[in-house]
Amino acid sequence: MNKLFNPDTSFFNNYFDKGLYLLAWRISIVFIFIFTIIAFFYSFSGFTAVIPSILVLLVGVFCLLFLHFTKKTKVVFWIYAVSGTLLAHYAMNTVLNLTHYVDFLWIMICIYIAFVGLGRKVGVSFIIFNALLLGFFFFFTLNKHVEILQPRTNFELIGEFIEVLFALFVVSYLTYQYLIFQSYSKKELEKAYFELENQNELITIRNNENILLVKEVHHRVKNNLQIITSLLRLQKNTLNPDVAQKFDEAINRIMTMALIHSKLYQSDDLSKVNIESYINDLVNEILSSLSSNENIATNIYSNYNSVGLKTIVPLGLLLNELLSNSFKHAFKNNEKGEITIEITTENEIDFTFKYSDTGTWKENQSPKFNFGLELIETLTSQMEGNFKRNESSYEFHLKNLDIDYAPLKSNFEQVLL
């Protein structure tokens, strides 16, 4: 008997699937058992009265066998909701010698089954459908039913009483099962919430550890680059002035990259560098390394707040070349002057970089000067841009390499095509 009401559900992994399977199975068992008894008692009222009970009995047998072989609960709930609704209204409009009080309960059970087994939208649809059919009963059948209805015999009273008890039992069981589902859902949500809290704490701890680790990496890279520049400075003291000047240029380029790592480990955002702050520090570093006077003023403006490592490295090297050229070739004999640096953007992908100085340039065609121009061209090309020069003024149109703009580009090309 226990196995009859508690079939094997090991083939389900989900708790709700198991619950719905057990619900459909047990309803089928109870339908078969109770409607066998009800059919017996209604048989004394005539063949017409017993037909709905026999049909429900056959539906119960079919659904039980269907469940056993297919394990598909949704189909069973559809069968019960549809057939139950149709049979209840069929009995109310054709079998006029019975009370039909219990049919209102059956209609409620069908709606309940639709909600529990098929979902909210289906349940609402069954409410509307049954409301229309009940309207038909009240306006077209009820008066005839009242005229024909006769006092109940004992057998009929017992049968109808058993059916009412059974309907109440089914309503109670569906309510009980619904409360179990709700309780289980609440426990699972609480469990999931606590698990997410624990995972969030672990992620936060690991994230903080990773932040410290990345900052330490940037700090060590900056220190190592500074060691290299120190070694180069020591070595350049033993070299002749022409070679020592090349060492200075190499030192400035290494210092440009070291400054990037210094900015990264000092920042809360380890993936981006504030452009304006970086340019200010780079200018000061180059002034200090070249022992330049303080008569040179710098005007720096940027509406581009920050960029990533892919963009700031070539941009920093490009700026280093421009500043070095200005300090070496435009400003001589402590003369006063200004350097203007402006970075503007209208979107996240493209930006304009303008550079100019007020110094007096003398064109220098020496190999080291040509190398600086070649490096500027190479860095511009690396940033997928172009530039134009008018004496000591440069205007660069560059791209932010840290943003993947390929999809935007392909969409634009599709529009053109």
Mean pLDDT score, 104-124: 91
pLDDT tens track for 352-367 = 999 998 877 665 544 4
Q: Tell me, what's the pLDDT at 413? A: 41
Q: What is the spatial distance between Cα 369 and Cα 350, in angstroms, rounded to a whole number? A: 29
- Segment of 13-22, 97-106, 117-126 carrying the highest mean pLDDT: 117-126
Could you tell me the residue ranges of all domains in the chain?
A: 2-198, 290-417
Bigger pLDDT: 298 vs 3: 298
Single-letter amino acid code for the residue at 251: I
Instruction: Work out the pLDDT band at 411, boundaries 50, 70, 90.
Output: very low
Q: What is the spatial distance between Cα 320 and Cα 380, in angstroms, rounded to a whole number? A: 13
Q: Tell me, what's the pLDDT at 416? A: 34
Q: Tell me, what's the pLDDT at 415? A: 35
Q: Tell me, what's the pLDDT at 129? A: 95
Q: What is the spatial distance between Cα 331 and Cα 340, in angstroms, rounded to a whole number? A: 14
Q: Where is 389: in which H helix or E strand?
A: strand 386-390
Question: Per-residue pLDDT for 265 more than 70?
Answer: no
Q: What is the spatial distance between Cα 295 and Cα 194, in angstroms, rounded to a whole number? A: 63
Q: Tell me, what's the pLDDT at 370? A: 67
The CB-side HSE value for 287 (13 A sphere, CA atoms) comes to: 14
DSSP state of 352: E
Q: How far is CA 270 from CA 52, 217, 401, in A?
A: 75, 11, 17
pLDDT tens track for 155-194 = 778 878 888 888 888 888 888 877 887 787 788 888 888 8
CATH of domain 290-417: 3.30.565.10
Q: Tell me, what's the pLDDT at 332? A: 66
Give DSSP secondary structure letters for 289-310. HTT--TTEEEEEEES--EEEHH
Instruction: Work out the pLDDT band at 82, boundaries 50, 70, 90.
Output: very high
Expressed in angstroms, the distance from the first to the final Cα of the chain is: 74
pLDDT tens track for 300-330 = 888 877 788 788 888 888 888 888 778 777 7
Q: Would you say 351 and 345 are in contact if contact means Cβ atoms under 8 Å apart?
A: yes
Question: Per-residue pLDDT for 86 more than 80?
Answer: yes
Mean pLDDT score, 272-298: 74
Q: How far is CA 160 from CA 5, 37, 254, 286, 410, in A?
A: 25, 11, 96, 101, 74
Q: Tell me, what's the pLDDT at 291? A: 55
Pairing of strands 350-357, 337-345: antiparallel
Q: Tell me, what's the pLDDT at 132? A: 95
Instruction: Work out the pLDDT band at 80, boundaries 50, 70, 90.
Output: very high
Q: Would you say 298 and 283 are in contact if contact means Cβ atoms under 8 Å apart?
A: yes
Single-letter amino acid code for the residue at 88: A
Question: Per-residue pLDDT for 137 more than 90?
Answer: yes
Q: What is the spatial distance between Cα 34 and Cα 162, in angstroms, rounded to a whole number? A: 8
Q: Would you say 387 and 380 are in contact if contact means Cβ atoms under 8 Å apart?
A: yes
Instruction: Report angle CA 315, 411, 398 to the nearest 5 degrees.
Output: 15
Instruction: Work out the pLDDT band at 334, boundaries 50, 70, 90.
Output: low
**Token pair of 367 as six digits:** 């190999």
Q: Would you say 277 and 263 are in contact if contact means Cβ atoms under 8 Å apart?
A: yes
- Segment of 103-117, 237-251, 365-379 carrying the highest mean pLDDT: 103-117
Handedness of CA 137, 138, 143, 148 (dihedral sign): positive
> What Rg do the C-alpha atoms of the chain give, in angstroms?
43
Q: What is the spatial distance between Cα 255 and Cα 320, in angstroms, rounded to a whole number? A: 9
Mean pLDDT score, 43-54: 76
Q: Tell me, what's the pLDDT at 22? A: 86
Mean pLDDT score, 269-293: 73
Of all residues in the chain, what percent carry a pLDDT higher than 90? 16
pLDDT tens track for 200-225 = 888 888 877 777 777 777 778 778 87
Pairing of strands 393-399, 272-274: unpaired
Q: What is the spatial distance between Cα 383 and Cα 376, in angstroms, rounded to a whole number? A: 11
Question: Per-residue pLDDT for 59 more than 80?
Answer: yes
Q: What is the spatial distance between Cα 386 and Cα 399, in angstroms, rounded to a whole number? A: 10
CA 188 to chain centre: 21
Q: Find the helix packing angle between 154-236 and 101-118, rounded to 10°.
A: 20
